[in-house]
Amino acid sequence: MAILDIFKDDNEINEKAILGFASFGVLTIYGIADVITGLEGQTFVIEPIILEVFAGLTFGCFGIASYEKVANRKTDAEREKNLPGGLAPLPDDEG
């Protein structure tokens, strides 16, 4: 598979999951750098908007990818594999 195959509509790669994972990686690097500089007694200065954008991107990508994974199931048996407790509604005392 060539790198340009990612941009085709009929590929098998979930672009949202890849983008969410890359964004999560940036957030992880940010957190590690913040802890290391804090232990050294320095202040790690970064604009809050950058952190908020990467956090929103991560949550958005993973949320959309997860929703599509569950919503695109064709049968109840396929849906039950991803939903703990199956498709039956909760009893009145639990929900």
- CA dist 8 to 3, 11, 19, 20, 22, Å? 10, 6, 16, 19, 20
Quote the pLDDT of residue 61: 82
Tokens representing 44?
Answer: 């790690």
- CA dist 11 to 35, 48, 87, Å? 39, 36, 30
pTM: 0.60
Q: What is the pLDDT of residues 1-56, one digit of tens each?
A: 577 766 666 767 777 778 888 888 998 999 899 899 999 999 888 888 888 888 88
Q: What is the pLDDT of residues 66-95, one digit of tens each?
A: 777 777 766 666 666 666 665 566 566 654
Name the CA dihedral angle for 54, 60, 61, 63, rounded to a multiple of 10 degrees: 140
The values of phi and psi at residue 27, to 5°, are -65, -35
The residue ranges of every structural domain in the chain are: 14-73
